[in-house]
């Protein structure tokens, strides 16, 4: 694992944007795995900026998002579909047909999940997966206890996650109780991974995930087994490392 501790969010976002932009410049038809949440927002803003300056071309890039809530309409302000279009896709020259998100509204979720795995394989696998981390160590929506060999599946969200994500909804009862998420094995099959961790509320879980035992109780600890992971932290998230 390569660990990069940055001084502030400006540097944090720049380091992350350098990793993603280098990937796209080296391989213009890169397959990117993308994450939602507040942590990658600065990265996405920098990528948009680079595109606007003519430094980056997304016309051949393909993307696969990690996860999506079950049952929220696509245009719901808290759907990850909406998040990704608002915060990235509408502002760069990516082609709609190259954007892949799990459909949280398909009746047969298991088929949606199996099809997603096939689509990732057909695209040649993920070159670079961007990850955030939940306060309980989840990656994507793979909650503590998820087996390390899990593939894309329908997930029951933990109380901790529902509570953390309720900040985006009017009340906790509006937070969906289920989501579709790439599995841990699916994530581990990515050729390269960049894990972004910021803020003091993530400091304890960062130390557990990066320095603690590799255990299903801390899903992100599995990343210690991946040969090409870069972890970018801000100072606040790195205090217990």
The set of catalytic residues is 67, 136, 138, 143
Q: Is 39 in the site for ligand GLP (CB under 6 A)?
A: yes
Per-residue contact string for residues 114-133; x = within reach of ligand GLP by CB under 6 A: ------------------xx
Tell whether residue 44 is a contact of ligand GLP (CB under 6 A): no
Minimum gap (Å) between residue 149 Cβ and ligand GLP: 20
Tell me the site size for ligand GLP, rule CB under 6 A: 14
Q: Which of 36, 109, 129, 190 touches ligand GLP (CB under 6 A)?
A: 36
Block residue for tokens 């020259």: 93
Please give the Cα distance from 103 to 82 (Å, whole number): 12
Tally the C-alpha atoms within 13 A of residue 133's C-alpha that lie toward its C-beta: 32
**What is the distance between the alpha carbons of residues 162 and 176, in angstroms, rounded to a whole number?**
8
- Comparing CB distances to ligand GLP, the nearer of 67 and 112 is 67
Contacts with ligand GLP in 63-82 (CB under 6 A)? 66-67
174 binds ligand GLP (CB under 6 A): no
Q: Is 5 helix (H, G, I), strand (E, B) or coil?
A: strand
Of the candidate residues 104, 140, 183, 219, the single one contacting ligand GLP (CB under 6 A) = 140
User: Of the candidates 6, 142, 152, 161, which one interacts with ligand GLP according to CB under 6 A?
Assistant: 161
User: Under the criterion CB under 6 A, does residue 150 sit at the interface with ligand GLP?
Assistant: no
- Out of 13, 16, 17, 37, name the contact with ligand GLP by CB under 6 A: 37
* Burial (Cβ within 10 Å: 0-12, 13-18, ≥19) of residue 220: buried
Instruction: Kindly tell me which residue out of 19, 35, 50, 205 binds ligand GLP, with binding defined by CB under 6 A.
Output: 35
Query: Could you give the CA distance from residue 104 to residue 76 in angstroms, rounded to a whole number?
Result: 12
Q: 10 Å Cβ neighbour count for 216?
A: 17
Q: Which is nearer to ligand GLP, 94 or 180 (CB)?
A: 180
Interhelix angle 9-26/41-52, rounded to 10 degrees, is 50
Q: Which residue in 139, 150, 128 sits closest to 37, CA to CA?
A: 139
Structure tokens given for 54: 């003519």
Closest-CA residue to 36 (of 159, 132, 156): 132
Q: Are 131 and 187 in contact (CB under 8 A)?
A: yes
Cβ at position 180, least distance to ligand GLP in Å? 11
Chain residues that interact with ligand GLP, rule: CB under 6 A: 35-39, 66-67, 132-134, 140-141, 161, 165
């Amino acid at each position: 694992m390569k660990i990069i501790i940055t001084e502030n969010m400006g540097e944090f976002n720049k380091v992350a944007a350098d990793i993603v932009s280098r990937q796209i410049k080296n391989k213009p038809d890169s397959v990117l795995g993308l994450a939602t949440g507040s942590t990658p927002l600065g990265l996405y803003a920098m990528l948009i900026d680079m595109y606007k300056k003519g430094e980056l071309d997304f016309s051949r890039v393909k993307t696969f998002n990690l996860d999506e809530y079950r049952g929220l309409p696509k245009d719901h302000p808290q759907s990850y579909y909406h998040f990704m279009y608002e915060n990235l896709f509408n502002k760069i020259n990516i082609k709609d047909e190259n954007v892949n998100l799990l459909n949280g509204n398909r009746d047969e979720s298991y088929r949606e999940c199996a099809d997603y795995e096939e689509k990732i394989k057909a695209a040649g696998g993920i070159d670079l997966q961007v990850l955030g981390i939940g306060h309980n160590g989840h990656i994507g929506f793979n909650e503590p206890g998820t087996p390390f060999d899990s593939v894309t599946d329908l997930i029951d969200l933990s109380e901790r996650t529902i509570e953390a994500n309720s900040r985006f909804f009017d009340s906790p009862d509006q937070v969906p109780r289920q989501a579709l998420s790439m599995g841990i094995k699916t994530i581990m099959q990515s050729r390269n991974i960049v894990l972004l961790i910021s803020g003091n509320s993530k400091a304890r879980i960062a130390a557990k995930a990066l320095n603690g035992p590799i255990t299903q109780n801390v899903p992100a600890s599995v990343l210690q087994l991946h040969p090409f992971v870069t972890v970018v932290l801000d100072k606040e998230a790195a205090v217990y490392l």
